[in-house]
Amino acid sequence: MTIQATIRRITDPRDFGRVAVVMGGSSAEREVSLNSGQGVLDALKSRGVDAHAIDGIPALLDAVRAGHFARVFNILHGQHGGGEDGVLQGALDSLHIPYTGSGVLGSALSMDKVRSKWVWGSLGLPTPKFMPLPRGGDVHAAARHVGFPLIVKPASEGSSVGVSRVFDESGLDDAVTLAQRYPGNMLMETLIEGDEFTVSILGREVLPSIRIVPKGEYYDYNAKYVAEDTQYICPGLDGDAEAGLRSLALRAFDALGCSGWGRVDVMRDRQGRNWLLEVNTAPGMTSHSLVPKAAAQAGVDYAELCWRVLATSFDREAGGAA
């Protein structure tokens, strides 16, 4: 499924100038980011791009202010130094340095799962029933409102960090204790029982969906980054069902003001209804990651994918991205 593409076609690696691949950082997803970043760096260099690794936001901003880089490939993950929550995007905007991924609004909204859901709900887009859960709030009252089974997770983390599935009252307190290890508030939402899908977006192209089939009960951190027995079926659906899922993913992406590239995670229940979970504005690019798998299905290898993601930064340079 392709919506009219706006990515500028770049054929000469010199057109990118000197590129900072910013990775690592200080969020809970640092190790995943370092892994992603090394892959991106190697791929860009293999295509002749003058790319260099930078660890974290302070080092990046020092280098940018000193005039060392023309643009930034942001492969940081998470918030609070993770570079995915709008803070880095605002700093780079103020310095007039183009970068990959969504801008301030799309990054901030996507990182905050509660506000993402408020936006989707206001537009009639399907997302599981949920309750924001501030620290010190009555978690048992919230659980009665949402109903079991449910999910407890930090409202602003990724990579399944701090996530628990809770089937009755006995598991609730431990789930909250785990989620509270991470900064910010929590989120409680209905556990949708069914199949997990993800849909990647590159520019205005919606890549084939992936149905994720973990060996264990669900797609947790281990299944994402460690296990070798998780199955990835791409495309995840056929015909009208696949088209409908991709269309919903693009609507969800646009609703949050996202741009450049990203990944939309969706649950599909036993009745065939799709439920939006979250948008990732700087998705993983490790050997286990999902965007490269979807791109490969569409005939785009890893190095070409990195090139195309970097090329989306020209849309921002021209003022075309939010």
- Active-site residue, selected from the candidate residues 204, 246, 263, 268: 263
- What's the length of the chain? 322
Please check whether residues 219 and 282 belong to one and the same domain. Answer: yes
Which of 200, 225, 302, 308 is the catalytic position? 225
Is 263 a catalytic site residue? yes
Whether pLDDT at 5 is above 50: no
Mark whether 28 and 72 lie in a shared domain: yes
What percentage of the chain reaches a pLDDT higher than 90? 65
Q: Where are the alpha helices (DSSP H) in 139-289?
A: 139-146, 172-179, 221-225, 239-255
Same domain, 92 and 155: no
Would the pLDDT of 24 be above 70?
Answer: yes
Is 280 assigned a catalytic role? Answer: yes
**20 and 57 together in one domain:** yes
Residue 6 confidence (pLDDT) above 80: no
Whole-angstrom distance, CA of residue 185 vs CA of residue 170: 21
Does residue 313 lie within any of the structural domains?
no
- Which CATH number covers residue 170? 3.30.1490.20
Q: CA-CA distance, 102 to 174, in Å (whole number)? A: 35
Is residue 284 annotated as a catalytic residue, yes or no? yes
- Give the per-residue pLDDT at 7: 52
For 223-251, what is the mean pLDDT?
Answer: 87
Question: Does 116 lie in the same domain as 33?
Answer: no
> What is the spatial distance between Cα 73 and Cα 45, in angstroms, rounded to a whole number?
13
**Are residues 286 and 199 both part of a single domain?**
yes
SS3 13: helix
Nearest to 16 by CA among 36, 40, 35: 40
Choose the final residue of a domain: 165, 190, 215. 190
- CATH number reported for the structural domain that contains residue 293 in this entry: 3.30.470.20
- Point out the catalytic residue in the list 35, 156, 280, 313: 280
User: Do 217 and 80 reside in the same domain of the chain?
Assistant: no
Q: What is the pLDDT of residues 135-150, one digit of tens each?
A: 777 888 889 889 999 9
Angstrom distance (rounded) from CA 193 to CA 149: 9
- Among 25, 86, 162, 284, the one annotated catalytic: 284
Domain shared by 123 and 156, yes or no: no
Shared-domain flag, residues 197 and 270: yes
Strands 231-233 and 205-206: unpaired
| End position of a domain, from candidates 152, 170, 190 | 190
Asked if residue 137 lies in contact with residue 144, where contact means CB atoms within 8 angstroms, the answer is no
Q: Is there a domain that residue 317 lies in?
A: no
Dihedral (Cα; 83, 275, 295, 260), 10-degree rounding: -40
What local confidence, expressed as pLDDT, does residue 3 receive? Answer: 41
The pLDDT value recorded for residue 199 is 98
The active-site residue, picked from 25, 29, 260, 315, is 29
Is residue 84 among the annotated active site residues? no
The structural domain count of the chain equals 3
- Digit-coded pLDDT (tens) for 158-190: 556 788 899 988 888 888 888 888 877 888 999
200 and 277 part of one domain: yes
Distance CA 315, CA 227 (A): 37
* pLDDT, mean of residues 86-104: 96
Low-confidence winner among 63-67, 223-227, 289-293, 302-306 (lowest mean pLDDT):
223-227
Q: Give me 104's structure tokens.
A: 């301030």
Kindly indicate the confidence band of residue 218, based on its pLDDT and cuts at 50, 70 and 90: low
| Structure confidence at residue 230 (pLDDT) | 83
Residue 8 belongs to a domain: no
Under 8 Å between Cβ of 57 and 88: yes
Q: Which of 35, 74, 116, 159 is catalytic?
A: 159
Residue ending a domain, choose from 142, 161, 190: 190
Q: What is the CATH number of the domain that holds 64?
A: 3.40.50.20
Q: Is there a single domain that holds both residue 275 and residue 210?
A: yes
- Residue 158's SS3 state is coil
pLDDT for 154 equals 82
Residue 3 lies in a domain: no
Within a domain: 302: no
Contact between 193 and 147 (Cβ < 8 Å)? no
Higher-confidence residue of 177 and 241: namely 241
232: in domain: yes
Same domain for 214 and 293, yes or no, is yes
Q: How far apart are CA 169 and CA 152, in angstroms?
A: 12
- State yes or no: is 194 an active-site residue: no
Q: Which domain holds residue 61?
A: 13-101
DSSP 179-208: HTTSSS-EEEEE---EEEEEEEEETTEEPP
The DSSP bridge partners found for residue 2 are: 205
93 is catalytic: no
241 is a domain residue:
yes
Which candidate in 112, 157, 278, 315 is catalytic? Answer: 278
Cα–Cα nearest to 154, from 183, 128, 186: 186
User: Which has more pLDDT, 73 or 113?
Assistant: 73
- The catalytically annotated residue of 112, 189, 265, 315 is 265
